[in-house]
Amino acid sequence: MANGNDPLSINFDNGLGTMSNAYNVDTSVPGQVTLSGISAMMEWATGPASGHGYGTYTVEAKLTGSQPGPAIVFWPGDNQWPGQEMDLVELLPNGNGQQYGTVHWNNGGDSYLGQIYSGVSSNAWHQYQMIWEPGKITMNVDGKTLATFTDHVPVDYAHGGMNDTIGLLNTNANTSITVSHVDYVPLGGSATSTVSTVASSVVNTATTATTAAVNALGEPLLADGSVDWYTLAATVTANFQATGQWHL
């Protein structure tokens, strides 16, 4: 598992890298992954130090479709939901493919703030970037700042809080997300990073204690310690039916 203070670069030429907690991911094209239907991949979230902390996260991706379904998600390191979830991009349920970013927190339930990415179209490649720093989250698309959050900004593990893991998600048969590169540079760190590849042993880092725990939705983990993505998709759908909003 990657150290939260280490730079990370995944180009998908040699597997899924640290994002090996995966379900139904198409890796048939070298240098990219595609998630369609019900599919997901993320780093293993096994405790507050899992994943990464303050820094710059950059994802080269194309979201296809005009309905909610695809997302770039930063998931709580302790795998407990509701929690400090940050969604770099999702699609609004208005049918025009409009994109937005969101910050979630636990206020006795799931609370969140969202900001629309004006002028950003789906069905095209974009560079999505999140800069997480003390008291501030900035979300950029193609080098332009389109969302800034200064309320409910989580504290990372190195400063007494918790890290987040990097994840990709799709929950709709009419949408997909294709990603060619994921990059993380710690706050104040060098942009030079090495390609991360993970042997199959990383998949087994979920310990017996993790397997016996509950996943981010309060449901049992699967036998191998991975997230139950079917339950995750069902919860997204239930949230929409209850609130009119598609969110995790």
Q: Which amino acid is at 232?
A: L
Share of the chain above pLDDT 90, in %: 69
pLDDT, tens digit, for every residue of 160-183?
999 999 999 999 999 999 999 999
Model confidence at 52, pLDDT cuts 50, 70, 90, reads very high
Q: State yes or no: pLDDT of 38 exceeds 70.
A: yes
Mean pLDDT, residues 122-148? 97
Number of domains, the chain: 1
pLDDT, greater one: 204 or 137 = 137
In this structure, are residues 147 and 153 in contact, taking their beta carbons and an 8 Å threshold?
no
Q: Does residue 215 lie in a domain region?
A: no
Q: Does residue 241 lie in a domain region?
A: no
pTM above 0.85, yes or no: no
182, containing H or E segment: strand 164-186
pLDDT, tens digit, for every residue of 11-26?
999 889 999 999 999 9
Residue 135 belongs to what domain range?
8-203
Q: State yes or no: pLDDT of 248 exceeds 80.
A: no
Q: Does residue 228 lie in a domain region?
A: no
Q: Does residue 218 lie in a domain region?
A: no
Which CATH number characterizes residue 144's domain? 2.60.120.200
Q: Does residue 142 lie in a domain region?
A: yes
pLDDT, tens digit, for every residue of 210-226?
223 333 333 333 444 44
Closest CA to 89 of 54, 61, 49, 55: 61
CA angle 101/120/247 to nearest 5° reads 30
Q: Does residue 173 lie in a domain region?
A: yes
Tokens of 215: 């996943």
Other residues' Cβ atoms within 10 Å of the Cβ of residue 126? 19
Alpha helices in 53-149 (DSSP H): none
What does residue 223 show for φ and ψ, rounded to 5 degrees?
-60, -30
